[in-house]
A and B are shown apart, each in its own frame.
Chain A
Amino acid sequence: MSDYKELIAELVAAAETPAKTIKKSMEDTGKKAIGCFPLHIPEEIIYACNYLPVGMWGGKTDLKLCDTYMQSFCCTIMRANLEYGMKGTYNFLSGIVMNAMCDTLKCVCEDWKIAVPQVPIIPVVYAQQRKSEEGIEYMKAEFKRVRHALEKLEGRMVMDRDVENAYEMYEDYRAAMRDFDATCVNYPITMDAYTRHLVIKAGFFMDKAVYKEKIKAITAGLKAQAPEKFDGIRVIATGLLSEPNEVLNIFKENNIAIVGDDLAQESRLWRTPGRDIKGSVWEKMALRMADQRGDCFLYEPDKQRGEMMIEMCKARSAKAVVVFMMKFCDPEEFDYPIYKKELDDAGVPHLYLEVDQMIDSFEQIRTRIQAFAEQF
């Protein structure tokens, strides 16, 4: 087993160079790649169809071509994805899978067909009433439809058994991520805000079967060390994603560690385990979506997000919550007043950072983070 610190460095480097990492993963596995737009893409099905699922979470680029279709008030992740698509950056993908969880995603789905015709799109639409019997049945059918679309793309049939195997592998990956996340709480110096994020992000560009073993080795390596004494500020991060990376370095400069998260790009993807039932894999996948809590992109009448963050702060000795508010992300913006009140009532301070992926100047964000740290 490699030294865990070497593995950490390897994953950080992998996340810093996504294109290179994806190319290597494709070469190593001999698989073609399917792009996964943000939020709850059923990667198990893609994996079962012998494709390499890769994450598409935008990135920093000049936005020119995408403005043909998208307004300046759309979130920069969507704009960047369409820009990369139109530039041809994603031409190596055999297709993309995209959901329709927000208004922008719905429109990008249509835009993509016209603007990036060389990369076929497979949409997936989740049930709003995802906990109802009808919702479960609908999602089972929807997952099967995605399989069928991928079968047509690949030109071969994919058996239920293949999807079951992929689901089991993904369940193991999700369990490994939960263990890693819980372990990082005790190692806030080694797993500083930047390192923790990039180690997690690397998984979007690698074969999950390979990646999860590296994560398990890192977790085991960390656990073998004594818990780190940290005199800084422990926080929980919430929002879509904790980028740009420069912001995380400012956290590090101010001795702030992220010891847990409620981020769409991080723990929301793996914090909910599948149920231990005897049903079909389609049922297990649908129920796992039904069991998701505290995600602003999924309908939840009793909004549990604030309560979940307060519990996480207590459990992980976090002093505060940091809100990474992606500019123009309506679902996140609408949730904010609700959980803000709950945090205020519980006496949990929070730092609100409005971010987008194209930021060049970090002085104002630096002032906010530093002023926040000075409060403690």
Chain B
Amino acid sequence: MFLGIDIGSSSSKVALMNDKKELVATAVVNKGTGTDGVHSALEQAFLKAGITKEDVQFSVVTGYGRVTYKDADKQITELTCHAKGVAYLIPGARTIVDIGGQDAKVIKLNEKGEMINFGMNEKCAAGTGRFLEVMARVLGCGLGDLSDLAQKSDKTVSISSVCTVFAESEVISQLATGETPANVARGAHVSVSKRVAGMCNRVGVEPTVVMTGGVALNADMVRCLSNELSSPVTAAPNCQAVGAIGASVAAYETFMARREQ
């Protein structure tokens, strides 16, 4: 069995792949680096697959917490893992937009599904899942409710501040002047989409565009990004675990390559 672990800033993800390169189990725990989230995710995945730690032939860790995690055989970046994960799940995909809790990434793939270019946002919460968390808090709803709320909107409230802290103040002002939470929620999605679309344009967008990361669970956000890019955007299946799935693919490939040598 081949193990992929993705330790992100706000969640831990695990994927298990068998020696036929078939995905056997995934687990997502909403606790990130520096917590016991990774151990919980491992327990869940092992339980689902009906295996123990001893059954793992090779493991790869990725994500923000990859450098400090010492129990894996190899560590590689989440960019490479997302590329491998998407190429495994959606063959033919050429552009990946991964919006996670702490950062946003755009990855360009070649026809073989190999990463050929990428872009990442700078150290700033704008254009990331954190921005949407802050917006959800101001709007008094859960992060998971933001999509449904935005779909009730009848217009888009413009959020001009690129800084999350200033945007929070701006949104409070908008609500105070009578804008509806639904219109503000749509505005937040458009704001993130514009920010990410700028990065996409730097890297270069080619269809099929696939969205990964927890924010891909937000259907309205996926639609807003599609509008900004003027291109259909597909949310990856098991979108939160794509990095871990890619890590399990990397574990499989590394093990097989070493066995051939």
Contact = CB atoms under 8 A, between A and B. Distances in A.
B61 to A, nearest CB: 13
Interface stretch (A71-79, A154-162, A368-376): A368-376
Given A361-B123, A363-B67, 11 more contacts: A349-B117, A364-B120, A366-B67, A367-B78, A368-B118, A368-B120, A371-B118, A374-B77, A374-B79, A375-B115, A375-B116
B80 A371 contact: yes
A336 to B, nearest CB: 10
Contacts of A370: 76-77
Nearest to B119: A352
17 contacts: A349-B116, A361-B123, A363-B64, A363-B67, A364-B103, A364-B120, A364-B123, A367-B78, A368-B120, A370-B76, A370-B77, A374-B79, A374-B80, A374-B115, A375-B80, A375-B114, A375-B116
A367 B79 contact: yes
Contacts of B120: 364, 367-368
A228 interface: no
A352 B116 CA distance: 13
Contacts of A366: 67
B154 interface: no
Interface of A: 349, 352, 354, 361, 363-364, 366-368, 370-371, 374-375
Nearest to B78: A367
Contacts of A374: 76-77, 79-80, 115
Q: Identify whether the interface residues of A are mostly helix, strand, loop, or mixed.
A: helix
Interface residues of B, number: 17
Pick the most buried of B64, B77, B80, B103: most chain A CB atoms within 10 A of its CB: B77
A312 B117 CA distance: 21
Interface of B: 64, 67, 76-80, 103, 114-120, 122-123
Contacts of B115: 371, 374-375
B156 to A, nearest CB: 29
A339 to B, nearest CB: 14
A370 B75 CA distance: 10
Contacts of A367: 77-79, 120
Contacts of B77: 367, 370-371, 374
A320 B33 CA distance: 33
B97 to A, nearest CB: 16
Nearest to A327: B122
Nearest to B103: A364
Pick the most buried of A354, A370, A371: most chain B CB atoms within 10 A of its CB: A371
A366 B65 CA distance: 12
Contacts of B118: 368, 371
A346 B114 CA distance: 19
A88 B122 CA distance: 33
A375 B80 CA distance: 8
B79 A371 contact: yes
Contacts of B79: 367, 371, 374
Contacts of B116: 349, 375
A306 to B, nearest CB: 17
Please give me the 10 A-B residue pairs with the lowest Cβ-Cβ distance, nearest first. Answer: A371-B79, A371-B77, A374-B80, A370-B77, A367-B77, A375-B115, A371-B80, A374-B76, A374-B77, A354-B122
A270 B50 CA distance: 65
A251 B118 CA distance: 18
Contacts of B76: 370, 374
A370 B116 CA distance: 14
B247 to A, nearest CB: 12
Contacts of B78: 367
B105 to A, nearest CB: 9
A208 B220 CA distance: 63
Contacts of A364: 103, 120, 122-123
A367 B80 CA distance: 10
Pick the most buried of A354, A367, A368, A374: most chain B CB atoms within 10 A of its CB: A367
A346 to B, nearest CB: 14
Contacts of B80: 371, 374-375
Contacts of A349: 116-117
A254 B76 CA distance: 11
A370 B114 CA distance: 15
A81 B119 CA distance: 31
Contacts of B123: 361, 364
A74 B242 CA distance: 39
